[in-house]
Amino acid sequence: MSLKYKVSIIIPVLNKWELTKNCLVSLAEHTPREIYEVIVIDNGSTDKTPTMAKHFGLNLFGKHFKYIRLSKNINFGPACNLGAKIAKSDFLFFLNNDTILTPNWLEPLLKAFTQDPSLGAIGPLLLYPNNTVQHLGVVFSLRNKVFHLYSQFPKNHYVVQKKRYFQAITGAAFLIPKKLFWQLNGFFEKYKNGSEDIDLCARIIQNSHKLTVIPNSVIYHLESQSQDRNKHDNYNAYLLTKRCEHIFKPDAWKFYLQDGYKVKITKYLKLFITSDSQEKEIPQSIEKIKKIIFNEPYLWEGYKKLVTFYIKKNKFQEGIDLCYFALSFYPEEKILPWLSLFAQKQNNIQIIHEISTLQNKLKIQSTQIKEKGKEYVKKLLKKEPTLEPLLLNWLKRYSINY
């Protein structure tokens, strides 16, 4: 009689044996033994993986472990689909090997499905090793760019702990009922290690199911450790746009407003997010301001005070470090003047060159906005009519006739 599990944990791997090893150890340590199986799909590894993985996995999991060795790399989506075909479970959990599981990670995910029948797929809260957010949901910008909401926010920030529904979540740690996965034909296999998860999410929401992340399920994610991780970004973005552009709506701005932030649109149709929650309480101590900014990365007035201080005290390297931190949260056009000033003062040729490249990109975007600003607005309003107040204000501010 074949074994039947609650969850099949499918881990596609390509080299990086030490990452796979650490992932498997944490999985064995923090997961109830009898309810799951582990399926490692080896995409033609050439390191220690082929000689180590099978025996290591069997020692950890016994009959709960399967190792499938492929002669070549068939990419993430096809490897996941292969694992799903041999899975003996009700749920499939796709997991990157550059992850570390923590206590009680699985139970909240399974519980969520029993509490909410409308769910199609869910994921855990993914954190960087420094306890900031790597992923709590995927959102879409006004220009239809995909990014992670509140990336690099501290894990204890109030916005991190909220439960929300998304249009997409990452496939790095992704739980879905097997029946639904195959009903939707699994991962679309023409992507090359990117965007397969977003494409599947599009089909899930079209099938009238919801997507969410469960904050009290936590997994650490090192992110983008696979070989040539970003090599095919342009191709994948093109394919995703071709297949799914009509499905997704710009939604990042809604989350920011719902969470109490101020939202403006820059000249380049990018979101400028600020918080005034602590502006009146900003201290004089530079170290205290830095700590406050780490805990509230959208406190714009705090950055301005630090920049003024670093200029006054000739602390140019500290200013550069601050600017690179700020670029994780703010549009380039807001930060580049500061970064340029500090780089010029320090005569940092490399950074000056980087700034020049970014400024040239902004010039191109500026030309596009002048030529097609009205078209962008019409397209956005057709997708999301509730954007009208923000967009009309943008048109007025930058003197674009509509």
Q: CATH no. for residue 83?
A: 3.90.550.10
Contact criterion met (CB below 8 Å) for 195 and 107: no
Q: Are residues 65 and 155 in the same domain?
A: yes
282 in the same domain as 210? no
Q: What is the pLDDT of residue 321?
A: 97
How many separate domains does the chain show?
2
Question: Model's pTM, two decimal places?
Answer: 0.95
Boundary (domain end) residue, out of 251, 268, 286? 251
Look up residue 161 and give its two tokens. Answer: 């702990």
Does 26 share its domain with 146? yes
The owner of tokens 């005070």 is 305
Q: Are 196 and 284 contained in the same domain?
A: no
Residues 180 and 319 in one domain: no
CA torsion, ordered 178, 179, 181, 186, to nearest 10 deg: 100
Are the beta carbons of 28 and 56 closer than 8 angstroms? no
Q: What pLDDT sits at residue 228? A: 62
Q: Please tell me the distance from the alpha carbon of residue 131 to that of residue 126, in angstroms, as a whole number.
A: 9
pLDDT per residue as tens digits for the range 213-223: 999 999 999 97
Return all residues near 118 (Cβ < 8 A) that are at least 6 apart: 208, 209, 210
- Cα gap 124→215, rounded to integer Å: 6
SS (H, E, C) the chain: CCCCEEEEEEEEECCCHHHHHHHHHHHHHHCCHHHEEEEEEECCCCCCHHHHHHHHHHHHHHHHEEEEECCCCCCHHHHHHHHHHHCCEEEEEEECCCEEECCCCCHHHHHHHHHCCCEEEEEEEEECCCCEEEECCEEECCCCCEEECCCCCECCCCCCCCCCEECECCCCEEEEEHHHHHHCCCCCCCCCCCCHHHHHHHHHHHCCCEEEEEEEEEEEECCCCCCCCCCCHHHHHHHHHHHHCCCCCCCHHHHHHHCCCEEEECCCCCEEEECCCCHHHCCCCHHHHHHHHHHCCCCHHHHHHHHHHHHHCCCHHHHHHHHHHHCCCCCHHHHHHHHHHHHHHHCCHHHHHHHHHHHHHHHHHHHHHHHHHHHHHHHHHHHCHHHHHHHHHHHHHCCCCC
State which of 251, 276, 311 marks the end of a domain: 251
Task: Say what the pLDDT of residue 227 is.
Answer: 56
CB 279 within 8 A of CB 292: no
The confidence score (pLDDT) of residue 21 equals 98
Residue 315 CA to residue 300 CA, distance in Å, equals 20
Structure confidence by residue, pLDDT tens digits, 25-36? 999 999 998 899
Report residue 327 as tokens. 């670029």
Same domain? 286 vs 171: no
Q: Which residues of the chain have pLDDT under 70?
A: 1-3, 224-229, 277-281, 401-402
- Specify whether 237 is located in the same domain as 309: no
pLDDT score of 278 = 57
Q: Are residues 370 and 343 part of one domain?
A: yes
Question: In this structure, are 24 and 82 located in the same domain?
Answer: yes
Domain end residue (candidates: 229, 251, 273): 251
pLDDT of residue 1: 35
* Pair 82, 143 in one domain: yes
Residue-number span of the structural domain to which 379 is assigned: 260-402
Under 8 Å between Cβ of 127 and 155: yes
Same domain, 64 and 101: yes
Does residue 238 sit in the same domain as residue 282? no
